[in-house]
Amino acid sequence: MCRSIKTLRPPVTPDVTEEDYRAAALQYVRKVSGFRAPAAHNREAFDRAVDAVAEATAHLLGELEVRGAPARPARATA
């Protein structure tokens, strides 16, 4: 049902995109909900959860300090 979520922090993954955050969030929400694709009546809740997890992931990774890794440029959050 769910592929592995890859590590998104440097130096493991130096260039992370919004698509990477969203893909990881989608995999997480799929795993915890037990749905690969939600029914129409659950779509809005599912999509809100993916958005929230992607935002939280970006926030977390933006604040982590990893020794020996070059600093990431600051990201604008929505």
Q: Residue 70 has what pLDDT?
A: 62
Residue 62 has pLDDT above 80, yes or no: yes
> CA gyration radius for the chain?
14
CB 51 within 8 A of CB 57: no
pTM of the predicted structure, to 2 decimals? 0.75
pLDDT, one tens digit per residue, over 41-57 is 999 999 999 999 999 99
The most distant pair of C-alpha atoms in the chain lies apart, rounded to whole Å, by: 47
CB 40 within 8 A of CB 53: no
Q: Among residues of the chain, what percentage have pLDDT more than 70?
A: 81
